[in-house]
Amino acid sequence: MFLFINLNQTLHSKFIMNKLRPEMPPYGVAYVASILAKNGFKSILHDDNLLKYDDSKLRNIFRKYKGLVRVVGLTSITTTFNQISRVAQISKEELSDIPVIVGGPHARLLPDEIINIPSVDIVFTGEGELSILEYANGRSLPEINGIYFKDNGIIQRNPPAVCIENLDEVPFPAYDLFNISDYHSTRGIAKRHPVSYVITSRGCPYNCTFCSSKALNIAEGKRVRYRSSENVLEEIEFLVKNYGVKELFFSDDMFTGNTSHLFGVCEGLINQKLNLTWVCMTHVNNITEEKLKVMKRAGCHQICYGVESGDPEIQKIINKNINLEKVKTVVRLTQKNGIDVRCSFMFGNQCETPETMLRTICFAKDLRPDFASFNIATPYPGTFFRSWAIENSYLTNRNYEALDSSTYALVTPDLPLGIVEKYVNKAFRSFYYSPDYILRRLLKIRDTAELRRVTESAFYAFKSLPGVVGSFIKKGE
């Protein structure tokens, strides 16, 4: 049996976006567990990120499965890096003969950092489904591509694994390992519950300087791979019939990038008549009115567009290259077709100044999306942004737990300590506390579901920003 622990991601609880952010199931583990189950191997999942285990509870979990477990598997994203050593050490103390394996985004980006942790035995450096199946089937470690391992204390680095070309061959995530209702999308997004995430592709065609998607994509040419629409629709029907799912969040980087794939999924949803609502993310360059019309008919009620900056020069520098006039056109077109718009913005990218951040705030207000998120640019491993920050000695905090997007990890000549956080708070105040926005939201309330959404998002926003509310009143902004 494989015992998987989804590690705890420590977040700065006072930052508004950490209050609003989603609680996602560990889909990486769920996909790995599903391919193991298909081949006769049992898995157990304990979600430390959801339940926040202390050391004593972790020890009890390991003791509970003593004699039953053959492998302990840990997830790794950048902000859980420090947790790997802690949990792996406890595992070794309680299950001394059981190997500890680690996979996930951070393991793929910086495998040497993880394999050098004393209590870690194997690191999976690519897409884990096929490599872990070879491991489970007993293939010798030197013959398994896509892993780093220790041989009598000596680190061995095997060649990369090939990517999975046909994503339809990957079984649906092992939904039986967790309770869907324990998780949620970003506060205030969902119209109905329960909500489930669905991933229909892997990869992103763009190369933004702040994003690690390209570095994580092991496909030749960094191309995007898609599941067939039939396979996606089969999973959706499974979720509705077995778990009562009423809303979906398509968590692809670029859900509308492939027109035939998009239309296949949307037309299938229309024909299935499952009465689902859903949300997706995409790029303004991949939207047309034809797409919007079929998406609306298929149940889409909100699209998130990554705009990032309202300054044309910053757009070029971060390799986003969005025409801001096109952003305005697409936002209006989306709203005209009855779909809410959520735009995400970012402060603190390379060459940012107080003037460019203020320009972004003004653009966001002028744009008038239904929702907006204002984020702190974070120098994640695998990004050009991080390389630039290190090269210029701007990175002031290399502790991975600090990269939770709640504080700015850089100090630049134009951005002294604390200035980015100040502008993020100013953006939230200026956007959400404006009479124009409040009136627009109130006028859109047509039913209890919309009232609940507005109330939920407002509750978490005000709960996390009491000091900001006070300063807002005091300054009369």
**Pair of tokens at residue 180:** 């869907």
Which is nearest to 394 in space by CA: 375, 404, 379? 379
- How far, in whole angstroms, is CA 289 from its chain's centroid? 27
**Pair of tokens at residue 362:** 């003004």
**CA 74 – CA 101 distance, rounded (Å):** 6
- Cα–Cα distances in angstroms (integers) from residue 305 to residues 171, 252, 255, 426, 454, in the given order: 30, 12, 11, 21, 20
What pLDDT, on a 0 to 100 scale, did the predictor assign at position 455? 75
74 touches 32 (CB < 8 A): no
**CA 130 – CA 110 distance, rounded (Å):** 20
Task: For the chain, 477 residues long, give each residue's pLDDT as a single digit of tens.
Answer: 999 999 988 655 555 555 666 678 899 999 999 999 999 999 999 999 888 899 999 999 999 999 999 999 999 999 999 999 999 999 999 999 999 999 999 999 999 999 999 999 999 999 999 999 999 999 999 999 999 999 999 999 999 999 999 999 999 999 999 999 898 777 778 888 899 999 999 999 999 999 999 999 988 888 999 999 999 999 999 999 999 999 999 999 999 999 999 999 999 999 999 999 999 999 999 999 999 999 999 999 999 999 999 999 999 999 998 999 999 999 999 999 999 999 999 999 999 999 999 999 999 999 999 999 999 999 999 999 999 999 999 999 888 988 888 889 999 999 999 999 999 999 999 999 999 998 998 888 888 777 777 776 666 556 555 444 444 334 434
Using CA of residue 348, residue 353, residue 359, residue 361, what is the dihedral sign?
positive
Which secondary structure element, helix H or strand E, spans residue 421, and what is its range?
helix 419-432
AA letter at 470: G
**CA 221 – CA 208 distance, rounded (Å):** 16
Using a cut of 0.85, tell me whether the model's pTM lies above it. Answer: yes
User: How many CB atoms within 10 Å of residue 320?
Assistant: 22
